[in-house]
Structure 1
Protein backbone atom coordinates (compact mmCIF):
# COMPACT_ATOMS: atom_id res chain seq x y z
CA UNK A 1 0.00 0.00 0.00
CA UNK A 2 1.23 3.43 -0.85
CA UNK A 3 1.67 6.01 1.88
CA UNK A 4 1.07 8.97 -0.45
CA UNK A 5 -2.20 10.70 0.28
CA UNK A 6 -1.94 13.75 -1.95
CA UNK A 7 -3.72 13.13 -5.23
CA UNK A 8 -3.76 15.38 -8.25
CA UNK A 9 -7.33 15.05 -9.59
CA UNK A 10 -7.49 16.07 -13.25
CA UNK A 11 -10.74 16.57 -15.17
CA UNK A 12 -11.17 15.62 -18.82
CA UNK A 13 -13.99 15.80 -21.32
CA UNK A 14 -14.92 14.56 -24.75
CA UNK A 15 -12.31 16.75 -26.47
CA UNK A 16 -9.46 15.21 -24.44
CA UNK A 17 -10.70 11.62 -24.75
CA UNK A 18 -8.30 10.57 -27.54
CA UNK A 19 -5.33 11.79 -25.48
CA UNK A 20 -6.30 9.74 -22.39
CA UNK A 21 -7.65 6.62 -24.16
CA UNK A 22 -4.49 4.49 -23.85
CA UNK A 23 -4.04 5.44 -20.19
CA UNK A 24 -7.64 4.37 -19.45
CA UNK A 25 -7.03 1.06 -21.21
CA UNK A 26 -3.65 0.50 -19.52
CA UNK A 27 -5.07 1.06 -16.03
CA UNK A 28 -7.98 -1.23 -16.87
CA UNK A 29 -5.59 -3.95 -18.08
CA UNK A 30 -3.65 -3.77 -14.82
CA UNK A 31 -6.76 -3.77 -12.62
CA UNK A 32 -8.39 -6.66 -14.49
CA UNK A 33 -5.26 -8.76 -15.05
CA UNK A 34 -6.11 -12.42 -14.43
CA UNK A 35 -9.81 -11.72 -13.85
CA UNK A 36 -12.18 -14.25 -15.43
CA UNK A 37 -14.70 -11.84 -16.89
CA UNK A 38 -15.83 -11.85 -20.53
CA UNK A 39 -15.65 -8.05 -20.54
CA UNK A 40 -12.13 -7.85 -19.11
CA UNK A 41 -10.07 -8.21 -22.33
CA UNK A 42 -8.65 -4.92 -23.59
CA UNK A 43 -10.50 -5.01 -26.93
CA UNK A 44 -13.84 -5.61 -25.20
CA UNK A 45 -13.28 -2.82 -22.70
CA UNK A 46 -12.05 -0.47 -25.46
CA UNK A 47 -15.53 -0.61 -27.01
CA UNK A 48 -16.96 0.77 -23.75
CA UNK A 49 -14.30 3.48 -23.46
CA UNK A 50 -14.88 4.53 -27.06
CA UNK A 51 -18.66 4.50 -26.70
CA UNK A 52 -18.73 6.61 -23.57
CA UNK A 53 -15.99 9.01 -24.62
CA UNK A 54 -17.73 9.64 -27.96
CA UNK A 55 -20.51 11.40 -26.06
CA UNK A 56 -20.16 15.19 -26.08
CA UNK A 57 -21.09 15.15 -22.37
CA UNK A 58 -18.37 12.62 -21.43
CA UNK A 59 -16.67 13.50 -18.13
CA UNK A 60 -13.63 11.83 -16.61
CA UNK A 61 -11.43 12.32 -13.57
CA UNK A 62 -7.99 10.72 -13.45
CA UNK A 63 -6.07 10.78 -10.18
CA UNK A 64 -2.29 11.01 -10.13
CA UNK A 65 0.16 10.48 -7.29
CA UNK A 66 3.48 12.08 -8.17
CA UNK A 67 2.60 11.71 -11.88
CA UNK A 68 1.71 8.01 -11.47
CA UNK A 69 -1.87 7.26 -12.54
CA UNK A 70 -3.79 6.02 -9.50
CA UNK A 71 -7.17 5.38 -11.08
CA UNK A 72 -10.10 7.05 -12.73
CA UNK A 73 -13.84 7.43 -13.02
CA UNK A 74 -15.89 8.41 -16.04
CA UNK A 75 -19.42 8.64 -17.30
CA UNK A 76 -21.98 10.94 -18.89
CA UNK A 77 -25.50 12.17 -18.28
CA UNK A 78 -28.32 9.94 -19.48
CA UNK A 79 -30.08 11.46 -22.46
CA UNK A 80 -33.62 12.84 -22.31
CA UNK A 81 -36.18 10.48 -23.74
CA UNK A 82 -33.75 7.57 -23.60
CA UNK A 83 -34.74 5.23 -20.81
CA UNK A 84 -32.63 2.34 -22.12
CA UNK A 85 -30.45 2.46 -18.98
CA UNK A 86 -33.48 1.43 -16.93
CA UNK A 87 -35.18 -0.84 -19.50
CA UNK A 88 -33.77 -4.15 -18.23
CA UNK A 89 -33.84 -3.38 -14.51
CA UNK A 90 -36.00 -5.80 -12.53
CA UNK A 91 -38.29 -5.40 -10.86
CA UNK A 92 -39.53 -2.82 -13.36
CA UNK A 93 -39.23 0.69 -12.01
CA UNK A 94 -42.06 3.23 -12.15
CA UNK A 95 -42.13 5.41 -15.25
CA UNK A 96 -41.73 8.53 -13.11
CA UNK A 97 -38.39 7.11 -11.96
CA UNK A 98 -37.11 6.08 -15.41
CA UNK A 99 -38.11 9.07 -17.54
CA UNK A 100 -34.94 11.00 -18.28
CA UNK A 101 -34.99 14.75 -18.63
CA UNK A 102 -32.15 17.19 -19.21
CA UNK A 103 -30.05 17.25 -16.06
CA UNK A 104 -31.74 14.39 -14.24
CA UNK A 105 -29.21 11.53 -14.10
CA UNK A 106 -25.44 11.17 -14.42
CA UNK A 107 -24.37 7.60 -15.25
CA UNK A 108 -21.07 6.58 -13.67
CA UNK A 109 -19.75 4.01 -16.11
CA UNK A 110 -16.37 3.13 -14.59
CA UNK A 111 -14.46 3.65 -11.38
CA UNK A 112 -11.20 1.81 -10.88
CA UNK A 113 -8.11 2.19 -8.74
CA UNK A 114 -4.75 0.48 -9.18
CA UNK A 115 -3.65 -2.00 -6.49
CA UNK A 116 -1.10 0.12 -4.60
CA UNK A 117 -3.77 2.77 -3.90
CA UNK A 118 -6.64 0.52 -2.86
CA UNK A 119 -7.70 1.02 0.72
CA UNK A 120 -6.30 4.57 0.81
CA UNK A 121 -9.55 6.44 0.14
CA UNK A 122 -8.49 7.15 -3.46
CA UNK A 123 -11.68 5.67 -4.93
CA UNK A 124 -13.88 7.95 -2.83
CA UNK A 125 -11.83 11.00 -3.77
CA UNK A 126 -11.94 10.16 -7.48
CA UNK A 127 -15.68 9.41 -7.29
CA UNK A 128 -16.44 12.62 -5.44
CA UNK A 129 -14.34 14.74 -7.79
CA UNK A 130 -16.39 13.44 -10.71
CA UNK A 131 -19.87 12.97 -9.27
CA UNK A 132 -20.44 15.27 -6.30
CA UNK A 133 -20.10 18.50 -8.26
CA UNK A 134 -22.34 17.35 -11.11
CA UNK A 135 -25.39 19.49 -11.88
CA UNK A 136 -27.65 16.44 -12.27
CA UNK A 137 -30.14 15.50 -9.57
CA UNK A 138 -28.86 11.96 -9.17
CA UNK A 139 -26.10 9.57 -10.18
CA UNK A 140 -26.52 5.94 -11.16
CA UNK A 141 -24.19 3.02 -11.72
CA UNK A 142 -24.26 -0.69 -12.40
CA UNK A 143 -22.11 -2.97 -10.26
CA UNK A 144 -21.52 -6.73 -10.38
CA UNK A 145 -24.04 -8.39 -8.10
CA UNK A 146 -21.35 -10.75 -6.80
CA UNK A 147 -18.93 -7.96 -5.85
CA UNK A 148 -20.27 -7.59 -2.31
CA UNK A 149 -17.41 -5.41 -1.02
CA UNK A 150 -17.76 -2.96 -3.89
CA UNK A 151 -21.54 -2.80 -3.45
CA UNK A 152 -21.05 -2.18 0.27
CA UNK A 153 -18.61 0.63 -0.52
CA UNK A 154 -21.13 2.32 -2.83
CA UNK A 155 -23.82 1.89 -0.17
CA UNK A 156 -21.53 3.58 2.37
CA UNK A 157 -21.29 6.54 -0.04
CA UNK A 158 -25.10 6.85 -0.10
CA UNK A 159 -26.06 4.77 -3.13
CA UNK A 160 -29.22 2.67 -2.91
CA UNK A 161 -29.92 -0.47 -4.93
CA UNK A 162 -33.06 -0.05 -7.05
CA UNK A 163 -32.99 -3.38 -8.90
CA UNK A 164 -30.93 -5.82 -10.92
CA UNK A 165 -30.14 -6.01 -14.62
CA UNK A 166 -28.33 -7.91 -17.33
CA UNK A 167 -28.07 -4.96 -19.74
CA UNK A 168 -26.78 -6.89 -22.77
CA UNK A 169 -25.92 -10.40 -23.84
CA UNK A 170 -22.73 -11.59 -22.17
CA UNK A 171 -22.98 -9.15 -19.27
CA UNK A 172 -23.00 -10.47 -15.71
CA UNK A 173 -25.93 -9.87 -13.39
CA UNK A 174 -25.58 -6.30 -12.14
CA UNK A 175 -27.17 -4.22 -9.41
CA UNK A 176 -28.54 -0.83 -10.45
CA UNK A 177 -27.74 1.75 -7.78
CA UNK A 178 -28.73 5.40 -7.44
CA UNK A 179 -27.29 8.28 -5.41
CA UNK A 180 -29.28 11.48 -4.78
CA UNK A 181 -27.13 14.52 -5.57
CA UNK A 182 -29.69 17.28 -5.00
Structure 2
Protein backbone atom coordinates (compact mmCIF):
# COMPACT_ATOMS: atom_id res chain seq x y z
CA UNK A 1 0.00 0.00 0.00
CA UNK A 2 1.31 3.42 -0.95
CA UNK A 3 0.19 6.39 1.13
CA UNK A 4 0.40 9.75 -0.62
CA UNK A 5 1.16 12.53 1.87
CA UNK A 6 -0.15 16.01 1.15
CA UNK A 7 1.24 18.99 3.08
CA UNK A 8 -0.84 22.08 3.84
CA UNK A 9 -0.13 25.25 5.77
CA UNK A 10 -3.73 26.43 5.72
CA UNK A 11 -7.10 24.75 5.53
CA UNK A 12 -9.48 25.72 2.78
CA UNK A 13 -13.10 24.57 2.94
CA UNK A 14 -12.71 21.22 1.11
CA UNK A 15 -9.64 20.16 3.12
CA UNK A 16 -11.23 21.29 6.38
CA UNK A 17 -14.34 19.21 5.68
CA UNK A 18 -12.21 16.20 4.72
CA UNK A 19 -10.32 16.55 7.98
CA UNK A 20 -13.53 16.81 10.03
CA UNK A 21 -14.92 13.71 8.29
CA UNK A 22 -11.72 11.73 8.92
CA UNK A 23 -11.64 12.91 12.55
CA UNK A 24 -15.25 11.75 13.05
CA UNK A 25 -14.33 8.33 11.70
CA UNK A 26 -11.08 8.08 13.69
CA UNK A 27 -12.75 9.11 16.96
CA UNK A 28 -16.14 7.46 16.31
CA UNK A 29 -16.12 5.60 19.63
CA UNK A 30 -15.40 8.80 21.60
CA UNK A 31 -17.30 11.60 19.85
CA UNK A 32 -20.15 11.32 22.33
CA UNK A 33 -17.77 12.77 24.96
CA UNK A 34 -17.68 16.60 25.06
CA UNK A 35 -13.93 16.97 24.48
CA UNK A 36 -14.02 14.57 21.50
CA UNK A 37 -17.16 15.93 19.83
CA UNK A 38 -16.64 16.94 16.21
CA UNK A 39 -17.76 20.48 17.09
CA UNK A 40 -15.10 20.70 19.84
CA UNK A 41 -12.46 19.42 17.44
CA UNK A 42 -13.57 21.94 14.79
CA UNK A 43 -13.16 24.79 17.28
CA UNK A 44 -9.68 23.58 18.25
CA UNK A 45 -8.74 23.05 14.60
CA UNK A 46 -9.79 26.57 13.60
CA UNK A 47 -7.85 28.06 16.51
CA UNK A 48 -4.75 25.98 15.76
CA UNK A 49 -4.91 26.76 12.03
CA UNK A 50 -4.63 30.46 12.87
CA UNK A 51 -1.63 30.02 15.20
CA UNK A 52 2.08 30.29 14.25
CA UNK A 53 3.70 27.40 12.44
CA UNK A 54 0.51 25.54 11.54
CA UNK A 55 1.14 22.66 9.16
CA UNK A 56 -0.82 19.52 8.39
CA UNK A 57 -0.21 16.28 6.58
CA UNK A 58 -3.15 14.44 5.08
CA UNK A 59 -2.62 10.87 3.93
CA UNK A 60 -4.43 9.33 0.99
CA UNK A 61 -4.64 5.80 -0.36
CA UNK A 62 -5.69 6.65 -3.91
CA UNK A 63 -8.48 9.16 -3.37
CA UNK A 64 -9.45 7.72 0.03
CA UNK A 65 -8.33 9.83 3.02
CA UNK A 66 -6.37 7.66 5.46
CA UNK A 67 -5.45 10.02 8.27
CA UNK A 68 -3.86 13.26 9.33
CA UNK A 69 -1.32 14.88 11.62
CA UNK A 70 -0.90 18.55 12.39
CA UNK A 71 1.41 20.81 14.36
CA UNK A 72 2.01 24.35 15.57
CA UNK A 73 5.09 26.14 16.82
CA UNK A 74 5.03 26.89 20.55
CA UNK A 75 7.19 29.61 22.11
CA UNK A 76 8.53 29.81 25.67
CA UNK A 77 5.45 31.63 27.02
CA UNK A 78 2.84 29.52 25.22
CA UNK A 79 -0.07 28.11 27.23
CA UNK A 80 1.04 24.65 26.01
CA UNK A 81 3.98 24.70 28.41
CA UNK A 82 2.13 26.46 31.25
CA UNK A 83 -0.40 23.62 31.55
CA UNK A 84 2.23 20.93 32.11
CA UNK A 85 2.99 19.81 35.69
CA UNK A 86 5.76 19.97 36.59
CA UNK A 87 6.55 23.02 34.49
CA UNK A 88 9.23 22.07 31.93
CA UNK A 89 12.58 23.79 32.26
CA UNK A 90 14.10 26.36 29.91
CA UNK A 91 16.13 23.71 28.11
CA UNK A 92 12.82 22.81 26.41
CA UNK A 93 10.83 26.02 26.66
CA UNK A 94 13.64 28.47 25.94
CA UNK A 95 13.34 28.05 22.17
CA UNK A 96 10.55 27.47 19.70
CA UNK A 97 9.35 23.86 19.76
CA UNK A 98 6.90 21.93 17.67
CA UNK A 99 3.63 20.79 19.25
CA UNK A 100 1.96 17.79 17.61
CA UNK A 101 -1.63 18.77 18.27
CA UNK A 102 -3.46 15.87 16.61
CA UNK A 103 -2.73 12.66 14.78
CA UNK A 104 -5.27 10.10 13.66
CA UNK A 105 -5.58 7.20 11.25
CA UNK A 106 -8.77 5.49 10.14
CA UNK A 107 -9.22 1.86 11.24
CA UNK A 108 -8.51 0.13 7.91
CA UNK A 109 -5.03 1.69 7.89
CA UNK A 110 -4.12 1.28 11.55
CA UNK A 111 -1.15 -0.97 12.16
CA UNK A 112 0.20 -0.33 8.65
CA UNK A 113 2.73 2.37 9.54
CA UNK A 114 0.49 5.13 8.15
CA UNK A 115 0.57 7.16 11.40
CA UNK A 116 4.37 7.05 11.55
CA UNK A 117 4.59 8.03 7.88
CA UNK A 118 2.32 11.06 8.42
CA UNK A 119 4.25 12.00 11.58
CA UNK A 120 7.68 11.66 9.99
CA UNK A 121 6.69 13.48 6.79
CA UNK A 122 5.45 16.38 8.89
CA UNK A 123 8.56 16.58 11.06
CA UNK A 124 10.93 16.29 8.09
CA UNK A 125 9.88 19.74 6.90
CA UNK A 126 10.43 21.46 10.25
CA UNK A 127 13.45 23.07 11.90
CA UNK A 128 12.46 23.17 15.58
CA UNK A 129 14.79 21.16 17.84
CA UNK A 130 12.05 19.53 19.92
CA UNK A 131 8.64 18.11 19.23
CA UNK A 132 6.14 17.64 22.03
CA UNK A 133 2.70 16.05 22.21
CA UNK A 134 0.01 15.20 24.72
CA UNK A 135 -1.57 11.77 24.85
CA UNK A 136 -4.28 10.21 26.95
CA UNK A 137 -2.26 7.54 28.76
CA UNK A 138 -5.41 5.37 28.91
CA UNK A 139 -5.97 5.43 25.12
CA UNK A 140 -5.98 1.92 23.73
CA UNK A 141 -5.25 0.56 27.21
CA UNK A 142 -1.91 2.40 27.11
CA UNK A 143 -0.94 1.20 23.62
CA UNK A 144 -0.88 4.73 22.16
CA UNK A 145 1.45 5.99 24.89
CA UNK A 146 3.75 3.02 24.37
CA UNK A 147 3.70 3.58 20.60
CA UNK A 148 4.93 7.15 21.08
CA UNK A 149 7.70 5.82 23.29
CA UNK A 150 8.84 3.55 20.43
CA UNK A 151 8.96 6.69 18.26
CA UNK A 152 11.45 8.23 20.70
CA UNK A 153 9.13 10.31 22.89
CA UNK A 154 9.70 10.41 26.65
CA UNK A 155 7.38 11.55 29.42
CA UNK A 156 7.61 15.20 30.44
CA UNK A 157 4.67 15.69 32.84
CA UNK A 158 0.88 15.78 32.96
CA UNK A 159 -1.59 18.31 31.61
CA UNK A 160 -5.31 18.99 31.61
CA UNK A 161 -5.85 21.42 28.71
CA UNK A 162 -9.52 22.02 29.54
CA UNK A 163 -12.06 21.02 32.19
CA UNK A 164 -13.65 18.60 29.68
CA UNK A 165 -10.32 16.99 28.85
CA UNK A 166 -8.92 13.92 30.54
CA UNK A 167 -5.53 14.25 32.21
CA UNK A 168 -3.00 13.90 29.42
CA UNK A 169 0.64 12.85 29.47
CA UNK A 170 2.97 15.42 27.91
CA UNK A 171 5.82 13.82 25.97
CA UNK A 172 8.84 15.23 24.14
CA UNK A 173 11.65 14.16 21.82
CA UNK A 174 14.29 15.67 19.61
CA UNK A 175 12.83 16.35 16.21
Pairwise same-fold verdict (TM > 0.5): yes
Structure 2: give runs of 5+ residues left out of the alignment: none
**1:7 equivalent in structure 2:** 3
Q: Map 1:125-140 onto structure 2 (within 5 A).
A: 125-140=117-132
Distance verdict in 2 for CA 1:120–1:95, change over 3 Å: same
Q: How many residues align?
A: 172
Preserved CA contact (<8 Å) 2:5 2:57: yes
Structure 1: give runs of 5+ residues left out of the alignment: none
Distance verdict in 2 for CA 1:17–1:77, change over 3 Å: farther
* 1:72 maps to which of 63, 68, 74: 68
* 2:82 maps to which of 63, 87, 90: 87
- Provide the rounded CA distance (Å) in 2 between the counterparts of 1:122 and 1:18: 24
TM-score if structure 2 supplies the norm length?
0.91
**1:167 equivalent in structure 2:** 161
Preserved CA contact (<8 Å) 2:26 2:104: yes
- Quote the offset at 1:105 in angstroms: 0.5
Preserved CA contact (<8 Å) 1:55 1:76: yes
> Cα RMSD over matched residues?
1.5
2:129 aligned with 1:124: no
**1:50 equivalent in structure 2:** 46
Secondary structure in structure 2 of the residue aligned to 1:34: coil
1:101-146 Cα distance to aligned partner (Å, 9 max, x none): 3xx3011100000010001010000000001331100101010121
Preserved CA contact (<8 Å) 1:25 1:46: yes
- Quote the offset at 1:94 in angstroms: 2.4
**1:30 equivalent in structure 2:** 25
Distance verdict in 2 for CA 1:89–1:95, change over 3 Å: same
TM-score if structure 1 supplies the norm length?
0.88
- Provide the rounded CA distance (Å) in 2 between the counterparts of 1:157 and 1:51: 27
Divergent runs of 4+, >6 A: none
Preserved CA contact (<8 Å) 1:9 1:62: yes
- Quote the offset at 1:150 in angstroms: 0.6
**1:40 equivalent in structure 2:** 36
